[in-house]
Amino acid sequence: MVTPASINPRIVEGLYCEALTLSDEVRSAFAVHGRIDGDEDDLARVALSCEALRTTTRMMHAVAWLLNHRAYFIGDLSEFQLRRYGKLVDFPEGDPAHLAQLDPEMRELIRATERFHARLKRLDTGWRDRDPAAPSAITRLRDRLARQA
């Protein structure tokens, strides 16, 4: 089994940029789709409202997790604080009944946020499961180079 990549500032910055872009797409899509005509089905309105709330909240949690990691890397949070307060919570996927009432583009955007959140969850789990006393990848590389010299 491949060990998960450690979280480092470059990974966090790349994911942060991706999260901002995806969040903007979500905001824009739900703003446009939120203007449902009066003749639309009430169930479609409810489905759209529920999925909009679920999707935007999922992205807010993702951005908050990334901001906590950014703060950790610049020294504003200790590892203890990050481990205690920076956990990414499990978040439910979209309701299939609601998703069925949305157009394919909206469903794909919602699925993209779910995949993004799942990526962050895997990183968070891998980071939390590592042994904090274990040497870092750079330390292991330096040790290996020293043995070869």
Give the tens place of pLDDT for each residue, 27-42: 999 888 766 555 567 7
Distance CA 141, CA 149 (A): 12
Nearest to 127 by CA among 35, 40, 24, 5: 5
Answer yes or no: is pLDDT of 5 > 60.
no
- Cβ of 31: how many Cβ atoms within 10 Å? 10
Nearest to 40 by CA among 94, 98, 101: 101
Give the tens place of pLDDT for each residue, 48-67: 888 999 999 999 999 999 99
- Domains annotated for the chain, with CATH where assigned, are 9-148 (1.10.8.930)
Q: Who has greater pLDDT, 91 or 147?
A: 147
Give the tens place of pLDDT for each residue, 74-93: 999 998 899 888 888 888 88
Q: Does pTM surpass 0.85?
A: no
End-to-end CA distance of the chain: 30
Q: Tell me what pLDDT residue 138 has.
A: 75
